[in-house]
């Protein structure tokens, strides 16, 4: 899978893809993550500006359409893309189901929002999908793009050595995960549930399902709808 991330500040997220699971995914050839500086496609040769004042006099600056069109057109001339995503607070809220679907794609572009917003013609003519990571506003879309890439790449088969671990994550079946414990079994009188020490697989699985349901009802009842 290839993910191309377009940003005015790609250095903000470079380190996110240089360590741990995402780094291993790239080393294995299972994922390619390419960062592109939008300023390299600016029509302003001297200052490399990619924003301008909005028509109508509203406060803030707006990302221009031409640099965005230039970079997206260049990338699309080199390969076909399944999605061209724009990170926006008013997009569809990102979740595990979207991550699962995206992990089956071959090539994806993510455009990071910035400034007051982007020229709306970008959203009308160049973007195929808009995604939000929550009902709040960030300084830019770089963190959102990093979250999306991380969630998607980690579930590509072969990225995580223990694939069952990814399949049992929170939200894979619309439930929160059951509690997990490790050694010591008794710490200051705080004990691990006896069932987990029993070695009885059927009872352990039953306990985990009960715990998942209880935690979901208590912490995220909206998931059960």
3-state secondary structure 14-82: HHHHCCHHHHHHHHCCCCEEEEEEHHHHCCCCCCCCCEECCCCCCCCCEECHHHHHHHHHHHHHHCCCC
The token pair at 160 is: 């995580």
CA distance 128 to 84: 5
The CATH code for residues 2-153 is: 3.40.1280.10
> Span 100-115, mean pLDDT?
95
The token pair at 205 is: 């699985």
Residue 59, pLDDT score: 86
Residue 225, pLDDT score: 80
Output the average pLDDT for the chain. 93
CA distance 50 to 47: 9
Residue 17 has pLDDT above 80, yes or no: yes
Domain borders along the chain are 2-153, 173-224
Residue 140 has pLDDT above 80, yes or no: yes
CA distance 165 to 152: 15
**Is the bond leading into 184 cis (omega within 30 degrees of zero)?**
yes
Q: What are phi and psi of 217, to 5 degrees?
A: -60, -40
Element (DSSP H or E) covering residue 143: helix 142-153
Residue 45, pLDDT score: 86
Pick the CATH number of 173-224 from 3.30.200.20, 3.30.470.20, 3.40.50.10490, 1.10.1270.20: 1.10.1270.20
Residue, of 163 and 26, whose pLDDT is higher: 26
pLDDT band at 123 (very low <50, low <70, confident <90, very high): very high
Q: Residue 109: beta bridge partners? A: 4, 84
Residue 169, pLDDT score: 64
Residue 154 has pLDDT above 70, yes or no: yes
Share of the chain above pLDDT 70, in %: 96
Share of the chain above pLDDT 90, in %: 84
Q: Are strands 83-93 and 107-112 parallel, antiparallel or unpaired?
A: parallel
Residue 196 has pLDDT above 90, yes or no: yes
> Span 62-67, mean pLDDT?
96
Residue 139 · residue 113 · CB < 8 Å: no
Residue 144 has pLDDT above 90, yes or no: yes
pLDDT band at 103 (very low <50, low <70, confident <90, very high): very high
Residue 168 has pLDDT above 60, yes or no: no
CA distance 115 to 118: 8
CA distance 150 to 145: 9
pLDDT band at 148 (very low <50, low <70, confident <90, very high): very high
Element (DSSP H or E) covering residue 111: strand 107-112
pLDDT band at 114 (very low <50, low <70, confident <90, very high): confident
Q: State pTM to two decimals.
A: 0.88
């Amino acid at each position: 899978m290839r993910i191309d991330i377009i940003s005015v500040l790609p250095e903000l997220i470079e380190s996110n893809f240089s360590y741990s699971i995402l780094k291993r995914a790239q080393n294995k050839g299972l994922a390619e993550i390419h960062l592109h500086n939008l300023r390299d496609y600016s029509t302003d040769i001297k200052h490399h500006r990619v924003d301008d004042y909005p028509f109508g006099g509203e406060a803030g600056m707006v990302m221009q359409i031409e640099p965005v069109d230039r970079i997206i057109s260049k990338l699309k001339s080199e390969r076909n893309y399944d999605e061209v995503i724009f990170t926006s607070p008013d997009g569809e809220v990102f979740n595990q189901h979207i991550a699962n679907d995206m992990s089956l794609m071959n090539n994806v572009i993510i455009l990071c929002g910035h400034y007051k917003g982007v020229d709306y013609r970008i959203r009308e003519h160049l973007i195929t999908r808009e995604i939000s990571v929550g009902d709040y506003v960030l300084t830019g879309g770089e963190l959102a793009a990093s979250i999306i890439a991380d969630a998607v790449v980690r579930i590509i088969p072969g990225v995580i050595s223990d694939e069952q671990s990814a399949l049992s994550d929170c939200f894979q079946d619309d439930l929160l995960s059951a509690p997990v414990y490790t050694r010591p079994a008794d710490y200051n009188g705080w004990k691990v549930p006896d069932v987990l020490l029993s070695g009885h697989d059927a009872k352990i699985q039953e306990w985990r399902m009960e715990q998942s349901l209880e935690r979901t009802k208590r912490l995220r009842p909206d998931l059960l709808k």
